[in-house]
Amino acid sequence: MQIAFIGLGNMGAPMAINLCKAGHQVKAFDLSKDACAKVAAEGAQIAASAQDAVQGAEVVISMLPASQHVKDLYLGTASQTGLLANIAEGALVIDCSTIAAATSQMVARAAEPTGIAFIDAPVSGGTGGAIAGTLTFMVGGKTADLERARPLLEKMGKNIFHAGDVGAGQTAKICNNMLLGILMIGTSEAIALGVANGLDPKVLSEIMRRSSGGNWALEVYNPCPGVQENSAATRGYTGGFGTDLMLKDLGLSQESALAVKASTPLGGMARALYAMHSMSGSGALDFSSIIQSLQKR
């Protein structure tokens, strides 16, 4: 299948590479030359622009940082025509970015009159899941469009959930990431408390992992350096899911909560703590670096 892949960050690059390994023809684009070189080494063709990437594509996949990037890409700006004008009629767009549900719905409405199908399919599983092809996809859109996308999603992930109509995947994702942010803060607090009292973080983490405090952060994403060999923490909090991206997702959760008058006190507190952590100069570090703001100095 001829696929255009836009956005080759820590998540997008391994996802595109897995599609190449599955035998698909991937024409990719990113503003980063290093990111382009990485996927080119695995068999992807590099496009000169996003508009070039989608020429002749049956499927367009995007993985971008925020709502504004997705809106500008597909709908255009004052200086650039939107990508919907370049995508062939009958093509399928799969947006894997984590953005506001309203933005996904806006793009879908604009795509419909052109004969382009659109689904939102944000992911969970981290960079490790992207590399291993074990991501979880939360999909919003028509059932028929999901079934068109399924053979590709299965090459990048192992869990595919149909959350509902367009935008539902985004809602599911921000609920998940709100919980993840809360869990990471709680896990970091507990480890920091134990270490301050003289406990070995590796021993304490294993105790909690096998007890009632067990959670995903303890299982695969421990925030304490040296506890897990391949964790972002052990890599100096690099190459993972950035603090500023977590802050963005927590902001989306609070916008959603305000819109429907839902009570999310822990989500609001998590956002405030990540905002302070970002302002301390840690915005580019992995979100598990929040432990540094909680540790005894």
Catalytic residue list: 173
65 burial (CB, 10 Å; 0-12 / 13-18 / 19+) is: middle
Q: Contact 243/289 with Cβ under 8 angstroms? A: yes
Q: What count of residues does the chain have?
A: 297
State the distance between the two ends of the chain, measured CA to CA, in whole angstroms: 54
28 φ, ψ (degrees, to nearest 5): -115, 160
Q: Contact 27/5 with Cβ under 8 angstroms? A: yes
Report d(CA 200, CA 207) in Å as an integer. 11
Residue holding tokens 């990540």?
Answer: 274
- Print the SS3 string covering 43-88: CCEECCCHHHHCCCCCEEEECCCCHHHHHHHHHECCCCECHHHCCC
For residue 165, how many C-alpha atoms fall within 13 Å in the half-sphere facing its CB? 5
